[in-house]
Structure 1
Amino acid sequence: MLKNVVFECGQKYIVCLERKICNCGRFQIDEIPCAHAFAIFKKKNIIDIHLYCSKYYKPVALANTYDVSIVLMSDKEDWSTPEFVLKEIVLSPGYKRLAG
């Protein structure tokens, strides 16, 4: 496991491309390379960064999002609302929001 070091504004960041982690935390949280990883890509002349991105950011994932059929709701007049819901009274909050 090869760890790469990047210095930025006097801070030291350790990036492991194999495990897709950086001690800044963004690489793990966003599941896409952080700025420190990009510095390593540039240093090592890595052009294809797709290997380091989550599958959720790829076009196939977006297409799969719309793959499932959406069932339309009927007209509002056809809805059957339970009686206990109709009897429910919803009040506004008991406080006023301050300006600003």
Structure 2
Amino acid sequence: MTDIHLFSTVSTVVAGLAIAMGVFFPALAMGRAIAQALDALARQPEAEKAISRTLFIGLAMIESLAIYCLVVVLIILFRNPLLEYLLH
């Protein structure tokens, strides 16, 4: 196996692990946020608008973490900056 094949294989495995963790942990955070929001709505139904607005803002922030992880993984897979050092 040549160096370029080994480098590509390792990059792919690392990218797979990164996207797995980068999606798993925000998914757990979203589930917890939704559960806490439902608990808050059950305790204070009159605060529905404030709780919902805060929940959606929080979910958007959590989802942005998964999107950032996806962007980094795509950079690693398709335009790996470390590949230049291997080819020279």
Normalized per residue, the structure richer in strand is 1
Above 0.5 in TM-score? no
Q: TM-score normalised to the size of structure 2? A: 0.29
State which structure, 1 or 2, has the greater radius of gyration over its C-alpha atoms.
1
Task: Output the TM-score relative to the length of structure 1.
Answer: 0.26
* Bigger helix fraction: 2
